[in-house]
Amino acid sequence: MIARRTLDATAWTACAEVLGRGKGELMALFADQNRVHMIVRDPREQSLEHLCFECEGGRFPSVGRYHAPAIRLERAIRDLFGLEVDGLPDSRPWLDHHAWEVSAPLSGEQRAPVSCPDYAFLPVEGEGLHQISVGPVHAGIIEPGHFRFTANGETVVRLEQRLGYVHKGIEHLMQGTTLERASQLAGRVSGDSTVAYQFAYARAAEMALGISAPARALYLRALMAELERIANHLGDFGAICNDASFVLIQAHATMLREEVLQAADNCFGHRLMRDCIVPGGVASDLTKESIQTVRALLDNIVPRFRQLFAIYDSTASLLERMLTTGIVSNELVTRFAAGGHVGRASGRNFDARRDLAYAPYDKLSFEVPLLRAGDVDARLRIRISEIEASFSLIRQILDSLPSGKIKNDLPAAKESEGFAFIESFRGDVLVWLRIDGDGKVARCHPRDPSWFQWPLLEAAVEGNIVADFPLCNKSFNCSYSGHDL
């Protein structure tokens, strides 16, 4: 359990200023009824701190005023809880597109929707500039989001995102439900990271209940998490190359991914391993035959994967597209505490598996790749290295898989709180959970890594050509669903 402090307005603002000076990383900012929570990390001390602020009269001082990464989070809090943010530099709504039947759905009271003027995109002035508006519905089958480009010929001068089109009200649905039901909902926040979300949720629930999962379940969870990571990174590897019109790699990467998913289905009964992790343990055990399936999978795909990467590494026309495209500076990833490949490709040396070590990763050895170039190529190479690390992790897990039961019974509930960071393929997922006296979920906040990556995409595209945006976007592969909640 980490230290938790309740601050007054002066101390809260002082803390925001410290963040703004780059002395700490904002890991999460969310509301619960009338209270605002902030989780900050000190990268030098490697320590976390949990700060609270009790709103008086439904207002709290803005953190975003000093520390830009908080702005979208505060806009979302404003939309969902109806809390006013004093000094928020950008007062436009974020998740609320004024299409809901209520306003401030998490405020706990019925509020009629308010009408709102058209969303005002940031003004851009200059000679020869023109706007290109893309989305929210795209030509391919991808998630919806709106991108407003201001371009000078082919060069992007500014990109502004507008998200929130896939708001599903997940946090609202979770309120008042049983722990099991909320676990299922957590697995549906962002479908591609369903294992990571349920892993984080289960750990948060276990922390709140004061129990832990059996050793075997911990290892099985890690196995699922690594399989998910491999499958997603393989998918991205192919998709990025496909966006440079190099379909060959995508065709083969898709086949490799398919074999991983089939092995997952074979082992856990679901291709994406959804609902396989539950509070207290895991839902199904791994049989001896399944262990052989995973070993056979590795023997089969590892050499083919390396061959595929060799093709990438030796195709000049492909590398020419990737190198120096969409560069994100180290300063920005540090300021935004961007996790996953986005952060590690630009020199932010952070991996929740290592730096906020949780079981069983504290007993496994793995490399965390780090690059500094910050371009599309670097983000792709981070993924490649992570796939290799996951191969090795899976071998270690299978070699040291403890025996025993796979699930502990949940004790009678009491009022309590818990949270957990889990490294998904995108970066660190946070789930924060408060349980009420009846054992129901009083409030649960899943925070997707994309919150701190989407804004960097805007910066990455600046100065690139319009036609390279898909490549930059795919190299980030942020979640719309996880962000829109």
Partner 1 sequence: MALTALTIQFLQMLLVLALAPLLTGFVRMVKARLLRRKGPPLLQPYQDLLRLLGKHAVVAENASWLFRVAPYLIFGATWVAAALVPTFASGLIFSWSADLIGIIGLLATARFFLALAGMDVGTSFGGIGSSREMMIATLAEPAMLMIVFTLALIAGSTQLSVIAQVFAMDGVGLRVSLGLALVALILIALAENARIPVDNPATHLELTMVHEAMVLEYSGRHLAMIDLAAMLKLLLYVSLIGCVFVPWGIASPTSGPLGYILGLLLYPLKLVIGGVLLALFETSIAKMRVFRVPQFLGIALMLGFLGTLLLFVSRSF
DSSP state of 482: H
Torsion of CA 368, 374, 376, 377, to 10 degrees: -60
Tokens matching residue 217: 């379940």
Instruction: Select from 56, 313, 320, 415 the one that contacts partner 1 (CB under 8 A).
Output: 320
User: 416-423 and 441-447 as β-strands: parallel, antiparallel, unpaired?
Assistant: unpaired
**Helix 194-209 with 215-243: angle, nearest 10 deg:** 150
Residue 232 vs 464, nearer CB to partner 1 = 464
Nearer to partner 1, 126 or 140 (CB): 140
Judged by CB under 8 A, the stretch of 186-194, 250-258, 363-371, 476-484 that binds partner 1 is 250-258
Distance of CA 226 to the CA centre of its chain: 16
Part of the chain binding partner 1 (CB under 8 A), chosen from 91-99, 240-248, 298-306, 348-356: 240-248
Decide whether 252 or 335 has the Cβ nearer to partner 1: 252
User: Segment 277-316, which members bind partner 1 (CB under 8 A)?
Assistant: 315
131 contributes a contact to partner 1 by CB under 8 A: yes
Contact between 173 and partner 1 per CB under 8 A: no
Identify the helix (H) or strand (E) that includes residue 316. helix 316-322
Are 345 and 371 in contact, with CB atoms under 8 Å apart?
Answer: yes
Indicate the helix (H) or strand (E) that contains 303. helix 288-314
130 binds partner 1 (CB under 8 A): yes
For partner 1, the binding residue among 18, 52, 102, 134 (CB under 8 A) is: 134
Size of the site for partner 1 (CB under 8 A): 30
Pick 206 or 243: Cβ nearer partner 1: 243
Residue 323 touching partner 1 (CB under 8 A): no
- Contact between 255 and partner 1 (CB under 8 A)? yes
**Quick one: which segment of 7-15, 113-121, 249-257, 327-335 binds partner 1 (CB under 8 A)?**
249-257
Residue 440 is classified by DSSP as B
Q: Which part of the chain contacts partner 1 (CB under 8 A), choosing from 224-232, 241-249, 262-270, 345-353? A: 241-249
8 Å CB contact between 207 and 200: no
DSSP 322-361: HTTSS---HHHHHHHT--HHHHHHTT----HHHHT--TTG
The nearer residue to partner 1, 123 or 140, going by C-beta atoms, is 140
Whose Cβ is closer to partner 1: residue 238's or residue 369's? 238
Helix, strand, or coil here: 257? helix
Nearest C-alpha neighbor of 408 from the set 206, 222, 242: 206
In 10 A of CB 403, how many CB atoms? 7
368 near partner 1, judged by CB under 8 A: no
Q: Rank residues 321 and 445 by Cβ distance to partner 1 and give the closer one.
A: 321
Question: Does residue 114 belong to the site contacting partner 1 (CB under 8 A)?
Answer: no
Backbone angles phi, psi at 444, to 5 degrees: -135, 130
124 belongs to the binding site for partner 1 (CB under 8 A)? no
User: Quick count: other Cβ atoms within 10 Å of Cβ 408?
Assistant: 16
Tell which one of 321, 426, 434, 445 touches partner 1 (CB under 8 A).
Answer: 321
Count Cβ atoms below 10 Å from residue 258 Cβ, excluding itself: 14
Residue choice 9, 102, 211, 248 for contact with partner 1 (CB under 8 A) = 248
- Shortest distance in whole angstroms from residue 376 CB to partner 1: 12
Residue 465 near partner 1 by CB under 8 A: yes
Please select the residue that binds partner 1; options are 79, 192, 468, 484, rule is CB under 8 A: 468
- 137 counts as binding partner 1 under rule CB under 8 A: no
Strand (E) or helix (H) holding 9: helix 9-20
d(CA 29, CA 62): 11
**Toward partner 1, which CB reaches closer, 368 or 466?**
466
DSSP-derived letter for residue 327 is -
Computed over its alpha carbons, how large is the radius of gyration of the chain? 22
The residue type at 256: L
For partner 1, which stretch binds (CB under 8 A), given 248-256, 286-294, 354-362, 392-400? 248-256
In 70-99, which positions are buried (b, 16+ CB within 10 angstroms) versus exposed (e)?
bbbbbbbbbbbbbbebeebeeebbbbbbee
Question: By CB under 8 A, is residue 470 in contact with partner 1?
Answer: yes
Choose between 162 and 354: whose C-beta lies nearer to partner 1.
Answer: 162
247 is a site residue for partner 1 (CB under 8 A): yes
Residues of this chain that interact with partner 1 (CB under 8 A) are: 130-134, 138-140, 154, 241, 243-248, 251-252, 255, 315, 317-318, 320-321, 465-470
